Chain A
Amino acid sequence: MSNLAILPILLPLLAGIITAFIHKKTKLVRSFSQITAVINLIVVGYVFMTIRSQGTIVLEVGSWEAPFGIVLVGDLLAAVLVLTTNIIGVAAVFFAPKSLTEKEESFYFYSFFFLLIAGVSGAFLTGDLFNLFVFFEVLLMASYGLIVLGNGKAQLRESIKYVLINLFSSMLFVTTISFLYSVVGTVNMAQIAQRVQEVEQQGILTTIGILLFFVFATKAAVFPLYYWLPRPYSAPNAVVSALFGALLTKVGIYSILRTFTLMFNQEVDMTHTLFIYLAALTMIFGVIGALSTHNVKLIVAYNIIPAVGFMLMGIGIFSEVSLSGTVYYLIHDMIIKAALFILAGATVYVAGTSDLRKMGGLIHHYPVLGWMMFLASLVLAGIPPFSGFIGKLQLIRGAVGQGEVMIVIVALISSLLILFSMIRIFIRGFWGDKTDIPRPDRKEKGSRMVYPAVFLLTLSVLLGVGAEWFFPVVESIAQYLMDPEIYIDSVLKE
């Protein structure tokens, strides 16, 4: 049964290879990808149910025993995130034909898409720090392929910056792993967690922990390392932006969550207090960015940053309640960011411009798109009863429980400003007198672009309204994260 853990990586990888061979037959590759993505979602759903009922699945690749070989650890946290990744994958693969031109589709979009899913799933599932680096590279390579798709002037310019910052942080990652290896003599996460407790010089380990945090913070766009994010995320095609915004920064946050609950939890006073300050600054600066621009896609891209702040806040507070908030917010944010980027892409497409000052009155022509944008803004800002509210409620409960009042004030104010920045799109773009339809030729295709976002928003609303059903899973994940011994035992089998 333990082979189940590799299926979420293997299936997209194979699909990516197959689609590379048939990339020129657009219709064939399109329907093949859609079917495979749905099958993959079903398989991952089955894996999730199995892990839910039977507990953590550990796969020792090539039957090399745990501390020596590479292990894949399918615990509940990884399973939930892989499931969410695949839900977004399905929405994206159905959105792709509406958003891309046929030529762009045939230039290996689906191959890179599946490799991205494989890389993200692998990063969630791996139990080996060096292997995490390898899966980071897999998903980054796929993202390099996706970001240049379309070959536009601005796109190429932004993708250079994107590749450079990621290359630099990857090299820092490798260096940090080698430091850690020289201290603890292993790269297996469970064994690192075990040995970190035994090492006498705790100072050097905290230094290594902070270095690792910097690496992941660069990927996750935490203050002050967020400056690279907004432009590369708003430059490419809408479907690519949706995938990036939903998945890539979340992998960084997941890595911080995993590293600092499992391995480096020996100096909570220092490291985790630092996280709380950085989380507050991340929220403030992200939301200022979102308010500073009139570009629809940039507003949505900037809104990724305060969300990262919220998740980091939960890790910083480091209690069971706040960690459940972080996990819930992580799932919520993946879904809502994908929906928002799809909606922003559709808005820009039908308006023919991304400048809010040149838009207006779109709701008369595209009522569904307008109301979906409104709903998405409410979900993102965390208006009850939607999913953002549940996550934020848990985070704030956790913070108040630990006496961190400042961060609560910052979080609440930035939530309000997030709502304001999003509602601006609705007011400036959709309200207003009925004008001539801006691009009549795009009316039919533009209206159809909304459906994948409707699917994601329905899920998001269900996640909030039906929190009663989902919350026990999140709570058990939080309990599990607070007790690293369970992870260590399930991998090293002691």
Chain B
Amino acid sequence: MEFIMAVLAGILFTTGVYNLLQKQLLRIIIGTGLISHGAHLFILTMGELKRGAPPVLTEGIEKYTDPLPQALILTSIVISFGVTSLLLVLAYRAAKINGTDNMEQLRGNDYE
């Protein structure tokens, strides 16, 4: 199960990086979204996948799920959600004011 998840996260990273290298602004943002999904899956996988066990450790219980990766993912999801929405607004404004969403034309020169 861990192996499949790791491969899945790898695929998400690959497609994310591919999209990140595109010229169109919206594709780049989708790329960052895919990469953050990959990262979140990774955290989940690294805490070992188990089913049917509660995330609590009390006396006498041997089988339990590690709650820490879940807490970490939750934090990370919220942060990437916030940054992605900010990025969408920023990209919209930048594309509108600069009159293009092509990164090739958004290079800029030194004196302005």
Q: Roughly how many angstroms separate A36 CA and B93 CA in the complex, as a whole number?
A: 33
A134 in the interface, Cβ–Cβ < 8 Å?
yes
Q: Of A157, A181, A295, which is within 8 A of B110 by CB?
A: A295
Residue A63 lies at the interface, judged by CB distance under 8 Å to chain B: no
Cα A130 to Cα B42 in complex, Å, equals 15
Asked if residues B97 and A156 are in contact (CB atoms below 8 Å), the reply is: yes
Q: Which residues of B contact A171 (CB under 8 A)?
A: 32, 35-36, 38-39, 80
* B-side interface residues, number (CB < 8 Å): 37
Shortest Cβ distance from B109 into A: residue = A154
Q: Is A278 an interface residue (CB 8 A)?
A: no
Are A355 and B79 interface neighbours, CB within 8 A? no
Least CB distance from B95 to A in Å reads 9
Is B8's CB within 8 Å of the partner chain A? Answer: no
The complex places the Cα of A423 from the Cα of B62 at a distance, in Å, of 69
| A134-B79, A177-B72, A178-B43 known; A163+B86 contact, CB < 8 A | yes
B52 contacts chain A at the CB level, 8 A cutoff: no
Judged by a CB distance under 8 angstroms, whether A354 is at the interface is: yes
**A298 CB within 8 Å of chain B:** yes
Interface contact A178-B86, CB-CB below 8 Å: no
Cross-interface CB contact of B90 among A133, A154, A163, cutoff 8 Å: A163
B112 within 8 A of A: yes
B54 adjacent to chain A (CB < 8 Å): no
Interchain CA distance A159-B38 in the complex, whole Å: 25
Contact A164 B42, beta carbon cutoff 8 Å: no
Known A134-B75, A157-B106, A171-B80: A151·B87 in contact at CB below 8 Å: no
CB distance from B43 to the nearest CB of A (A): 4
Q: Digitize A130-150: 1 where CB-to-B-CB distance is under 8 Å, 0 elsewhere.
A: 100110010001001000100
A168 close to B108 (CB less than 8 A): no
Residues of B close to A174: CB separation below 8 A = 36, 39-40, 42-43, 72, 76
| Cβ-defined contact, B25 with A182, below 8 A | no
- Residues of B near A154 (CB, < 8 A) are 108, 112
Query: Does B94 lie within 8 Å of A182, measured CB to CB?
Result: no
- What residue of chain A has the Cβ atom nearest to residue B107's Cβ? A157
* Complex contact A153–B97 (CB within 8 A): yes
Query: Is A197 in contact with chain B by the CB < 8 A criterion?
Result: no
Q: Does A167 contact B (CB under 8 A)?
A: yes
> A83-137: which residues lie under 8 A (CB-CB) from chain B?
130, 133-134, 137
Total contacts A-B at CB 8 Å? 108
A435 at the interface (CB under 8 A from B): no
Partner of B46, one of A163, A178, A231: A178
A-side contacts of B80, CB under 8 Å: 167, 171
| CB contact under 8 A between A231 and B90, given known A156-B97, A164-B32 | no
For the side of the interface on A, what is the size category? 35 or more
A424 vs chain B, min Cβ distance (A): 15
The distance in angstroms between the C-alpha atoms of A133 and B9, with both chains bound, is 20
Whether the Cβ atoms of A181 and B98 lie closer than 8 Å is no
Contact with B along A167-181 (1 / 0, CB 8 A): 110111011011101
Measured CB to CB, the nearest residue on chain A to B94 is A156
Q: Does B30 contact A (CB under 8 A)?
A: no
B108 to chain A, nearest CB (A): 6
The verdict on B82 contacting chain A, using a C-beta distance below 8 Å, is yes
List B contacts of A175 (CB < 8 A): 38-39, 42-43
| Residues in A whose Cβ lies below 8 Å from that of B42 | 174-175, 178-179
Contacts of B40 in A (CB 8 A): 174
On chain B, the residues within 8 Å of A182 by CB distance are 46-48
Q: Which of B20, B90, B111 contacts A148 (CB 8 A)?
A: B90
The answer on a CB contact under 8 Å between B98 and A157 is: yes
A163 B83 Cβ-Cβ under 8 A: yes
User: Which residues of A come within 8 Å of B, CB atoms?
Assistant: 130, 133-134, 137, 141, 144, 148, 151, 153-154, 156-160, 163-164, 167-168, 170-172, 174-175, 177-179, 181-182, 187, 231, 293-295, 298, 353-355
Known: A141-B82, A175-B39. 17 other contacts (CB 8 A): A134-B79, A144-B90, A157-B94, A157-B98, A159-B90, A160-B94, A163-B87, A167-B83, A168-B20, A174-B36, A174-B39, A174-B40, A174-B72, A174-B76, A178-B72, A187-B68, A355-B111
- Listed in ascending order, the chain B residues whose CB lies under 8 Å from chain A are 20, 25, 28, 32, 35-36, 38-40, 42-43, 45-48, 68-69, 72, 75-76, 79-80, 82-83, 86-87, 90-91, 93-94, 97-98, 106, 108, 110-112
Q: List 27 A-B contacts (CB under 8 A).
A: A133-B76, A134-B79, A137-B79, A141-B82, A144-B86, A156-B93, A156-B94, A157-B94, A160-B87, A160-B94, A163-B90, A167-B32, A167-B87, A168-B20, A171-B38, A171-B39, A171-B80, A174-B36, A174-B43, A174-B72, A174-B76, A178-B45, A178-B47, A181-B69, A294-B110, A295-B110, A355-B111
Name the 4 nearest CB pairs between A and B, nearest first: A182-B46, A156-B94, A178-B43, A178-B46
